Chains A and B, each alone.
Chain A
Amino acid sequence: MLPFSIELKPGLPIAEQVIFAVKKAVVAGQLKPGQPFPSVRVVSQELKINPNTAHKIVAALVAQGVLITTPAVGSVVAEQAAGDRAERAELLGAELERLVVEAKKLGLSLDEVSAGLAAHWKKLGRK
């Protein structure tokens, strides 16, 4: 089993979806610093994705500082730098834009969207 939750949606680039899911799992505390991250082979087998794609995913996560590779151990989740709140907020950029577009399409007001957000926020608690 993979240590993060993901549901792949067809049509969108797989690598992007997985990278996003991993980053989200780190922010949400589902993946903790120092925790081992599955190998390329395991990622590819569990998600039934092309090994080249799985390789690209792990390489991108290492390049972006989400994972650290150590020769004998494999990849582990990196300590998240304290000053990267802005970077973490940026993670949500695309999702927020999508939310705003959908809300406007439905003719909702900012207050209504905020209220909906607040309700979901409470439901999940703050870990």
Chain B
Amino acid sequence: MNAIELTSITHRYWRTEALHDLTLAVPEGSVFALLGANGAGKTTAIKVMMNLLRPSAGVARVLGTDSSRLGESDFARIGYVSENQQLPLWMTVRQLLDYCRPFYPTWDPALEGKLLAQFDLPSDRKLKHLSRGMLMKAALLSSLAYRPQLLVLDEPFSGLDPLARDDFVRGVLEASELGQWTVLVSSHDVEEVERLADHVALLEGGRLKFSETTESLLGRFRRMEVDLNSTAAPAGDLPKSWLDWQASAGRVAFVESAYATERTEQACRERFPDATVRAHPMSLREIFISLARAGREVVRSSAA
């Protein structure tokens, strides 16, 4: 089952199209990273999911319910923390928690206490006097203490120092439940979510470039290095899956975006008969950079 399903969502702000025909599924139990540059449409997509924005077209379903009909009982199962969240700044941390607690039947006081200590939050200080990192941790705490089934984090790490970021990730993992616990996290920085995410989707200019499991993405990308051992130019056309082509004297380097050991070796042998070929695994970050550089359409439907 999918925790979130977007079907053909388009959204326009006046004349600007923020999302174009976006179809996306976040499987239940996944930690799903929604990546893209600033302005790619991540926040708009999340606002549609959270019923904060009615899309110009399309349907969003969250935990099985049409997002435009999400009600109190649904939001009691959803945690939402956003970079630009409005919080009652006149309240102290303690007052914020006292205020939130009654709304959630599943509020876990033990987890609340544990996170409060772990986050090192001053419970008597007013929110308006907290640093950005502290404020984000307070917002996270008020969204984690009821162990939500679905946690939605919109750019949670932006502007956080490394220590606050570390606290934040630990907090999220403290509340994790194996199996049905789903996390959607948006970020413009792939490195922040590289280890956590088991699914990755990339938005560019309001359009989905791809959505697939981290495993399949890491599996199909390799940085290839070829020592030609001869001066002959490569024979034949280059496969479309070869990106970021670079050649210098006696050496060729490129990124294979559809790597399969035998098929890639075969394709290399055909084009560089006596060359030494090496394939290096790539990090998500390297993959994203090479995709951006190649600037080509590598659309692949969800590998779910």
Question: Is A51 an interface residue when CB atoms closer than 8 A count as contact?
Answer: yes
* Contact present for A14 and B195 (CB under 8 Å): yes
* Contact present for A48 and B281 (CB under 8 Å): no
* Contact present for A51 and B218 (CB under 8 Å): no
* Contact present for A10 and B29 (CB under 8 Å): no
List of B residues within 8 angstroms of A51 by Cβ: 31, 173, 176, 178, 181
* Contact present for A49 and B196 (CB under 8 Å): yes
Chain B facing A: main interface SS: mixed
A selection of 17 A-B contacts at a CB cut-off of 8 Å is A8-B195, A10-B194, A10-B286, A11-B282, A11-B286, A12-B281, A14-B195, A44-B176, A45-B169, A48-B166, A48-B195, A48-B196, A50-B31, A50-B196, A51-B31, A51-B178, A52-B178
Within 8 A of A (CB), among B183-214: 194-198
* Contact present for A10 and B169 (CB under 8 Å): no
Question: Is B285 an interface residue when CB atoms closer than 8 A count as contact?
Answer: yes
Q: A40-B178, A52-B29 are in contact. Are A45 and B283 (CB under 8 A)?
A: no
Within 8 A of B (CB), among A8-63: 8, 10-14, 40-41, 44-45, 47-53, 55
Question: Is B170 an interface residue when CB atoms closer than 8 A count as contact?
Answer: yes
Expressed in whole angstroms, the minimum distance between the Cβ of B225 and any Cβ of chain A is: 11
Q: How far is the CA of A53 from the CA of B197 in the complex (A)?
A: 10
Q: How far is the CA of A48 from the CA of B176 in the complex (A)?
A: 12
* Contact present for A48 and B282 (CB under 8 Å): no
* Contact present for A13 and B174 (CB under 8 Å): no
* Number of A residues with CB within 8 Å of any CB on chain B: 18
Q: How far is the CA of A52 from the CA of B182 in the complex (A)?
A: 11
Q: A41-B174, A44-B173, A48-B169 are in contact. Are A11 and B281 (CB under 8 A)?
A: yes
Question: Is B284 an interface residue when CB atoms closer than 8 A count as contact?
Answer: yes
* Contact present for A53 and B198 (CB under 8 Å): yes
* Contact present for B170 and A13 (CB under 8 Å): no
* Contact present for A13 and B215 (CB under 8 Å): yes
* Contact present for B195 and A41 (CB under 8 Å): no
* Contact present for B195 and A50 (CB under 8 Å): yes
Expressed in whole angstroms, the minimum distance between the Cβ of B277 and any Cβ of chain A is: 12
List of A residues within 8 angstroms of B218 by Cβ: 11, 13
List of B residues within 8 angstroms of A8 by Cβ: 195
